[in-house]
Structure 1
Amino acid sequence: MAWRTARSRGTSERTWPSAFWTLAAIVVPPISLLAKIRIVDGHKLPREGPFVLAVNHYSELDAVMVAVAVWRLRRLPRFLAKESLFHVPVLGWALRATGMVPVGRTGSSADAQHTLDVSQALVEHGRGVIVYPEGTLTRDPDLWPMRGKTGAVRLALAGDIPLIPVAQWGAQEIMPRYGKIALWPLRRPVTVVFGDPIDLAGFHSDGKPAPATLSRATTVVMDRIAEMLSTLRGIPAPAQRWNPAEHGQKETGRLDP
């Protein structure tokens, strides 16, 4: 319960010694050279206690941008990560050492129980987690948020945890979707915007929420992210989120050209 001890002294979560400091020393300097990260409304990220961030996903590099933004706001950036990654040498150690959260994709009852366990752990330890509801890089040809999966909503509802939408833009200029990283010019602008917590009161239920309820709540989340991204990009977002199934595309994995 080291985090609770640090919090009771009125200090930041980052005062807790962890592998994050080592990773931050490795990651933050080069990212600061590649990108000039601008944080908008960072005060909307809770300074303590649990949270779930729901973020749009359009570049293999954008997760690092969000992680650095959250770090600069003095919270530890933990992600939901595919369970298979935890078995990769070195990477698996880093994921475990930093408290990343393994997640399966089977949709089984075991996964549902795992969601409940993760929510309880977030509440107990006052931690936050970053979730990409899309599950993979967006298939939308114009990089708008596509249809989301229900994981972020399930986590938030299970633990009554604030669900905060985040829109980000700019990382595609450094590393296009499924493209190669461009090292020049340096310090290209990347903006990360934090939104107000989404009101999920109307989606609570006495028992396990029905799939249709979770789907409706997720639509609200993705629409909010698209609205924020529209303001950030200065152009209207599509009225409907992109549905890969309607375009003959796989829901996960690399997008076929």
Structure 2
Amino acid sequence: MQRRPFPRTLRIIVLFLRPVLMVITKRDWQGQERLPEGGFVLAPNHLSHLDPFLISHFMVDQGIPPRFLVKDTLMSLPVAGRILRSAQQIPVYRSSEGAAESLRAAIAAVEAGSVVTIYPEGTITRDPAAWPMSGRTGAVRVALATGCPLVPVMQWGPQEILWPYTKRPRFFPRKTIHVRVGEPLDLSDLAGRELTEQVLHEATDRLMDGLTAMMAQVRAELPSTPRIDVHTLGRPKTNYRRSDQ
């Protein structure tokens, strides 16, 4: 396994948070051997506000420093911004005119050999049964721009601790966090093609199909409704919850 350096701030965060996560979760992680060497894009589905902590736990135990996309406005905050920068998180320049320009720091990080986590849905799923929605093109865009692998990662279990758009966590009894690492997405047929919106959405659909298929295996069921289109969503529905919440 490749040895990747952890910035000091991340080491401190891991020192405090990992023991807590070991206590409050059980882990069913499979497919770690599929993680490539060098720089690549990690693309997980998004189930809960706890996802960054739980997917980071998985990454840390594989020797990968967690790096996420963060709004550039947060990076400019006095205290939080300093912590995020020292932890080497990646700014997204939302004020930029073009999508590629907004992702320039992520592209540079992957080209330099880092692993960058990009949630393709861009937000927590609104599906009532917590299936993946359609995706935005950021993860695919970074992978195609760099020529580096795009690795789908399915997680199931964070929603049992904190259901989407609710505020009451349920830590006990301990919940099992299932993680499945898929094979890097084959985008070889798109290499060298102009990155039109059609091409980007075609590749993103492949990614979301893969995440949905892995989730179906873990859940032993198939989605019963069409996939929600993230581009039709408005503001988050904070009253969205299961019947047992």
In structure 2, do the counterparts of structure 1 residues 121 and 184 end up closer, same or farther at CA, with 3 Å as the change threshold? closer
- Aligned residue pairs: how many? 239
Q: What residue number does 1:6 align with?
A: none
Give ranges in structure 1 of 5+ residues lacking alignment.
1-9
1:38 Cα offset (Å): 2.2
SS of the residue corresponding to residue 90 of structure 1 reads helix
Q: What residue number does 1:12 align with?
A: 3
- The question of 1:195 aligning with 2:185 is answered no
Counterpart code for 2:166: G
Q: What residue number does 1:91 align with?
A: 80
1:123 Cα offset (Å): 1.7
Give ranges in structure 2 of 5+ residues lacking alignment.
240-245
In structure 2, do the counterparts of structure 1 residues 73 and 11 end up closer, same or farther at CA, with 3 Å as the change threshold? closer
1:50 Cα offset (Å): 0.3
Alpha-carbon displacement from aligned partner over 1:129-161 (angstroms, at most 9, x marks no partner): 011011111111111110110000000000001
In structure 2, do the counterparts of structure 1 residues 234 and 117 end up closer, same or farther at CA, with 3 Å as the change threshold? same
For the residues of structure 1 that align with 2:104 and 2:170, how far apart are their CA atoms? 41
1:37 Cα offset (Å): 2.3
Q: Which runs of 4+ in 1 moved over 6 A?
A: none
Alpha-carbon displacement from aligned partner over 1:204-235 (angstroms, at most 9, x marks no partner): 2355x011110111111011101111111111
Alpha-carbon displacement from aligned partner over 1:108-137 (angstroms, at most 9, x marks no partner): 23x41343453233222x110011011111
Supply the RMSD in Å over aligned alpha carbons: 2.1
SS of the residue corresponding to residue 165 of structure 2 reads coil
1:83 Cα offset (Å): 2.0
Contact 1:60 1:137 in 2 (8 A): yes
In structure 2, do the counterparts of structure 1 residues 45 and 176 end up closer, same or farther at CA, with 3 Å as the change threshold? same
SS of the residue corresponding to residue 78 of structure 1 reads coil
SS of the residue corresponding to residue 154 of structure 2 reads strand
For the residues of structure 2 that align with 1:11 and 1:136, how far apart are their CA atoms? 30
1:58 Cα offset (Å): 1.3
For the residues of structure 2 that align with 1:160 and 1:245, how far apart are their CA atoms? 26
SS of the residue corresponding to residue 153 of structure 2 reads strand
In structure 2, do the counterparts of structure 1 residues 160 and 131 end up closer, same or farther at CA, with 3 Å as the change threshold? same
Q: What residue number does 1:122 align with?
A: 110
TM-score by length of 1: 0.85
Q: What residue number does 1:141 align with?
A: 128
In structure 2, do the counterparts of structure 1 residues 150 and 245 end up closer, same or farther at CA, with 3 Å as the change threshold? closer
Partner residue of 1:218 out of 183, 190, 204: 204
1:242 Cα offset (Å): 1.0
For the residues of structure 2 that align with 1:114 and 1:105, how far apart are their CA atoms? 6
TM-score by length of 2: 0.89
- The question of 1:254 aligning with 2:236 is answered yes
1:86 Cα offset (Å): 1.5
- The question of 1:112 aligning with 2:100 is answered yes
Identity %: 34
